[in-house]
Structure 1
Amino acid sequence: MSLRTRLAAFGFGLKPDGIRGQIAILVLASIIASHIIIAAAFFANRPDMPRPPVLPEPHQLYEFAELIGRTPAAERPQLIATVAAAFPQLELAATTAVARPPNGAWTPHQIDYLRRHLGPDYRVDLAGDDRMVITLPGGDAISARLPPERRRPVLGNPWMASLLIGVVSLALLGLWAARTLAAPLSAFATAAETFSLDSSDAPLPERGPAEIRSLARALNRMRERITTLIEDRTRMLAAISHDLRTPITRMRLRAEFIEDDHQRTQTLHDLDQMGAMLTAVLTFLRDGATRDAPTLIDLASAMQLITDQFADIGAKVAYQGPEHAMAMARPGDLHRAVTNLVENAVRFGTEVTIRLALDQDQIIIEVEDDGPGIADADKDSVMQPFVRGDDARNMDDSSSFGLGLSIARAIARGHGGELSLHTRTPHGLIARITLPRRTPSRAA
């Protein structure tokens, strides 16, 4: 195996395809960038280039002033002349003391430095442009040119160069991580949250490093398997339901010839219950597999229509909410979910109220009844399939199979919302559907 093949196997080929290879290229690029910065700093401060004459710095002037101050007064003129000859740029000379600093004079940083280090026995004043007067112990004074502030070049500072190297390395790493890892992983999380069985969403894009592409392919295959599994299950149950309806129909015809009226009635009741159960189960299993596209509907009119339908059969159902409320939803599914909640409320209560409230971010639909309610410990379990809230009931009631709340919760989640159950005071139950409010599209 050649060296290139071995490097490619570990993700270090000429065109790195894996995360390891890309990190190696990134580290190499950071090293090259660091060497470029160091080279730029070197050429900006070449030691072989002629430099301007170095002027004394404030700390050197402080040492000269302290040395002259400790020297006897008779020997000071000779020492001042010697220092002035050695450092002509300083223009050091004996002078008279300044009575006070000029009013409103700006105090440079160098004078503050000298005042702090010379102590109270010395006095430093600004005499004029670029000159200062230092009053020595005993009253003598010397004048000197104000030393310039030493400024280091930005690239000449080793700490600044190290900081630039770190910034460049972190910037390259951050850009790579944001583009290569963060963006695909965010897309995966979004796809998982919005996953549905209607197969309308586009598959995850397979781009990026080899590991990210492999993960995208695995998620797309898993999505296809789940969709295929649900579709196969739905088709199988639909076929079973269709096949069972034929013998149920034959049994219904034969039951008509039973002479005993009581036995004939019970048999027909059982057959009706079997047919209703098949329909309810098939409806629950099909929910989510085929959904209508959300459209712009008037939720208030939909709630009022449900209220009128139950009022026509003698149920006490009232509506509270706005007269009109436009929102994006699946009208058929939402009508079925609220109808299931009202059916449960009518079965256990005497008066039912449908409430609708909308704000900028969400839609809240509540179905309130005055029945016995549900214990807090049972609120989660009753929304599971085939779990009924009234344990005392038996299967003689063909209208309930424990699927109403399950179907309503599945529809609410299909809209991106949730169904929750709350206790009503003093007694009763409030079934609340909370849906996100989507902005209508131009087509809607």
Structure 2
Amino acid sequence: MKLGSISRFLHRFTPRSLPGRFFLVMVALVLATQVIVNNLWETQSRNDQDQALRDVAMNMALRVSATVEYFSSLPTRYRHIILNQLRDMGGTRYFVTLNREFIKIEPFQNTSSHQVVLDVFRQTLEESLDTKGNIQIAFSSPETLKVFNNDTFLKDLPDSWGQESLMVKPLALPVLVIQIPVGEGEWLYLATLMPDSSLMSKEQLSEPLKVSYMAWMLILMFIASLLIQKMTRPFEKLSIAAQTFGRNLEPVPVSEVGCREYETTAQAFNHMQKNIQHYMNDRKQLFSGISHDLKTPITRLRLRTELLDNDEEREAFSQDLDHLEMMVKSALQILSDTDIHENPERISLKNLLEDIAQSACSVGQNVHVYADSEAAINGKPLAMRRCLENLIGNAVLYGEQANVYLTTIKGYIDIRIRDQGPGLPEGMEEEVFKPYRRLDHGKACNPDGNGLGLITARHLVNIHGGRLKLRNYPEGGLEVTMELPADPLSKHT
């Protein structure tokens, strides 16, 4: 898999938030550590257990070997006499008998621990006894174990025999059975239990993964997630402040207390807000100064124009002055329109559009609204009204009528305004947003226009967290699309 594919996979399937990614990394590290530690612990435990089993099995095998040698050295007539004496020796209990036939042992599911015992017993007995290849060693379940012959089960013996053979109820501990030939047609039969049955248990190896251990690990991970959430909360507040400032350009001071990286970021953010605010204030003062400074020379030029004797020249000068004055007023107007200071409140876009349409129809304009929902948002009412009036007014002015469609799609409010005009020349969808940029059709329909309406409308949409797009509608005319997130200011203002 290529590096780019891995990056896209991680971007798609990992949490997008910083706390989520911290938590995911923490969980991955904890689980990886747990797997490694558990593997090391289990390996060491298995080695220790196997060594303990080997030691116990070796001691038992040596005692069994000594018993067999002693038993083999006895005269045949004495062997049955001392069988009972061999069934309880040195704290390790045996069931010992001399059989006339080899007893078949039912298959038993051996674990690795059982196999270790079998291997040690076989090796020790073969090394100490002269019966290589004839020794039969196996584990059997006490419920299926046969004694004396192939027809007698251990469980069918009297209680006294069962106790001596270590049928430990309610446990069903596996019984180690050793059969060694001691003469022609005679087998010495020994059945015993391992002295320390806990060594054969599988439960010990799962100690690190017990429920109590996992429960504590989950509790610690929960506490760690709370700490991660607390550590990353200042960054979340910083993100909210940046979004709010980006919408209305009103400074939102953030705390500069936290980790070193956050303090540096917060200080830079607060400093940036101050610089931008100073820039905006300087821009206002610059435009106000320009307006004030131009009024006097424009007035003087008008007076001098009136003194011209040539009517054509006077008219040309007058038109140029009108155009210059219009440009100054338009620039000041766009500055005023986009700098609307009002508190956000709940706005029903359906009611607002219907109100604008009703006002337009009252003066003979052709405006229709089609809404499938209330589509309410938290925003600036005056700014939103100016924006929609501007766009609907353009549709009526340049396209004869305006059909407005209001829908809600996947958490976004979609407003589409369609007209019946000629649309835009190809490739001009962004060009018309430039200040004072006007097309021939627009100049013909509205000679007094200034080319600042669209840029004003887009700025007003931007401060509400939305975007404005233009395209030629396939069935004719221009379609203006406004996309607004539901409640764009409800969490940040």
TM-score scaled by length of structure 2: 0.58
Which residue, out of 267, 277, 282, partners 1:217? 267
Q: Is the Cα–Cα contact under 8 Å of residues 115 and 124 in structure 1 kept in the other structure?
A: no
Partner of 2:139: 124
Which residue, out of 393, 400, 403, partners 1:350? 400
Q: Is the Cα–Cα contact under 8 Å of residues 115 and 122 in structure 1 kept in the other structure?
A: no
Which residue, out of 198, 205, 210, partners 2:255? 205
1:432 corresponds to 2:484: no
CA 1:385–1:98: 2 relative to 1, 3 Å: farther
SS in 1 for 2:455: helix
User: 1:30-57 deviations in whole A, cap 9, x for unaligned?
Assistant: xxxxxxxxxxxxxxxxxxxxxxxx9995
Partner of 2:458: 409
1:135 corresponds to 2:177: yes
1:239 corresponds to 2:254: no
Q: Is the Cα–Cα contact under 8 Å of residues 340 and 383 in structure 2 kept in the other structure?
A: no
CA 1:253–1:308: 2 relative to 1, 3 Å: farther
C-alpha separation between the residues in 2 aligned to 1:190 and 1:306? 33
For the aligned residue pairs, the C-alpha RMSD in angstroms reads: 5.2
Amino acid at match of 1:114: H
1:333 corresponds to 2:327: no
SS in 2 for 1:195: helix
Q: Is the Cα–Cα contact under 8 Å of residues 110 and 149 in structure 1 kept in the other structure?
A: no
Partner of 1:30: none
SS in 2 for 1:385: coil
C-alpha separation between the residues in 2 aligned to 1:275 and 1:309? 30
C-alpha separation between the residues in 2 aligned to 1:437 and 1:338? 17
Q: Is the Cα–Cα contact under 8 Å of residues 87 and 96 in structure 2 kept in the other structure?
A: no
User: 1:44-82 deviations in whole A, cap 9, x for unaligned?
Assistant: xxxxxxxxxx9995555655787799x699538589999
C-alpha separation between the residues in 1 aligned to 2:235 and 2:341? 28
Once the two structures are overlaid, the 10-residue window that deviates more, 249-258 or 224-233, is 249-258
C-alpha separation between the residues in 2 aligned to 1:351 and 1:394? 18
SS in 2 for 1:431: strand
Alignment of 1:148-167 (within 5 A): 148-150=197-199
1:385 corresponds to 2:399: no
Which residue, out of 232, 235, 240, partners 1:190? 240
CA 1:396–1:225: 2 relative to 1, 3 Å: same
User: 1:66-99 deviations in whole A, cap 9, x for unaligned?
Assistant: 7799x6995385899999867x3x4345358998
1:367 corresponds to 2:417: yes
SS in 2 for 1:377: coil
1:75 corresponds to 2:92: no
Amino acid at match of 2:422: P
C-alpha deviation, 1:179, in angstroms? 5.1
C-alpha deviation, 1:189, in angstroms? 3.3
C-alpha separation between the residues in 2 aligned to 1:414 and 1:223? 16
C-alpha separation between the residues in 1 aligned to 2:223 and 2:347? 49
Amino acid at match of 2:451: G
Q: Is the Cα–Cα contact under 8 Å of residues 276 and 398 in structure 1 kept in the other structure?
A: no
SS in 2 for 1:240: helix
User: 1:11-42 deviations in whole A, cap 9, x for unaligned?
Assistant: xxxxxxxxxxxxxxxxxxxxxxxxxxxxxxxx
Once the two structures are overlaid, the 10-residue window that deviates more, 244-253 or 313-322, is 244-253
C-alpha deviation, 1:203, in angstroms? 0.8
C-alpha separation between the residues in 2 aligned to 1:327 and 1:178? 29
CA 1:414–1:249: 2 relative to 1, 3 Å: same
Q: Is the Cα–Cα contact under 8 Å of residues 378 and 489 in structure 2 kept in the other structure?
A: yes
Amino acid at match of 1:148: S
CA 1:248–1:407: 2 relative to 1, 3 Å: same
C-alpha separation between the residues in 2 aligned to 1:408 and 1:342? 11
Alignment of 1:283-362 (within 5 A): 283-321=333-371, 326-358=376-408, 361-362=411-412
C-alpha separation between the residues in 1 aligned to 2:261 and 2:405? 50
Aligned length: 372
C-alpha separation between the residues in 2 aligned to 1:322 and 1:250? 57
Alignment of 1:102-113 (within 5 A): 113=113
Once the two structures are overlaid, the 10-residue window that deviates more, 365-374 or 332-341, is 365-374
CA 1:355–1:197: 2 relative to 1, 3 Å: closer
Which residue, out of 429, 443, 449, partners 1:400? 449
C-alpha separation between the residues in 1 aligned to 2:306 and 2:435? 34
C-alpha deviation, 1:233, in angstroms? 0.9
Structure of higher CA gyration radius:
2
User: 1:280-336 deviations in whole A, cap 9, x for unaligned?
Assistant: 222333455443111223322321233244445544322222585543221211122
C-alpha separation between the residues in 1 aligned to 2:489 and 2:241? 22
C-alpha deviation, 1:240, in angstroms? 1.7
C-alpha deviation, 1:366, in angstroms? 1.5
Structure with more of its chain in helix, by fraction: 2
Amino acid at match of 1:91: R
CA 1:399–1:355: 2 relative to 1, 3 Å: farther
Amino acid at match of 2:193: R
Identity of aligned residues (%): 24
Q: Is the Cα–Cα contact under 8 Å of residues 247 and 463 in structure 2 kept in the other structure?
A: no
TM-score scaled by length of structure 1: 0.64
